[in-house]
Amino acid sequence: MFNAFAAYLLMPRPSVLSTWEEFSAQSPRLAATAVAVRFSVSWTAACNQLKNLGLIDSRERERLLGNDLRRGELFEFGERFTVELDPPSVPPAYARTVVTAYRRGQLTAARTVELLHYSVGEADLPEPDALSLDELRSDLESGL
């Protein structure tokens, strides 16, 4: 019962619904990541609250929890993963730009890790976006 109270206190329904609405059209994972980041809660707590609010079902919750949040995914929200006593080495806005370029297929995983000064490994990067042929063609034509 204490966990439920804490979840509702830390992640109020209206705020979680607003965050969900903002990101869920892109993907449930991105929306769950946004909830975890915006409310500074664990991946498990965010996924549990989404299920409690009826935004995801038990199957989706299990799927999300089976694939842990990657440190690189935090960069998309201007957050960074820091280990205690480990000084931050990458500004959040810079990291967000690098991860966005990686997701769009403009950087390789190895180059992304290098640009992030090895603060994450390739396994920590989010999945790249699947670009349509039209998007690829547009990027090619615009010189990206």
Residues 48 and 92 occupy one common structural domain? no
Per-residue pLDDT of the chain (144 residues; tens, 9 = 90+): 556 666 667 888 999 999 999 988 888 999 999 998 888 888 899 999 999 999 999 999 999 999 888 878 888 877 665 554 454 578 889 999 999 999 988 999 999 999 998 888 899 999 888 877 787 787 778 765
Residues 90 and 132 occupy one common structural domain? yes
Estimate to the nearest angstrom the gap between the alpha carbon of 55 and the chain centroid: 17
State the Cα angle at 128 between 34 and 27, rounded to 5°: 40
Residues 81 and 49 occupy one common structural domain? no
Residues 78 and 136 occupy one common structural domain? yes
Domain count, the chain: 2
Supply the pLDDT for residue 80.
Answer: 60
Residues 10 and 54 occupy one common structural domain? yes
Residues 75 and 134 occupy one common structural domain? yes
* Domain end (from 35, 50, 65): 65
Other beta carbons within 10 Å of 105: 15
Residues 48 and 94 occupy one common structural domain? no
* Domain end (from 65, 81, 96): 65
What is the extent of the structural domain holding 97?
71-141
Residues 16 and 49 occupy one common structural domain? yes
Supply the pLDDT for residue 87.
Answer: 46
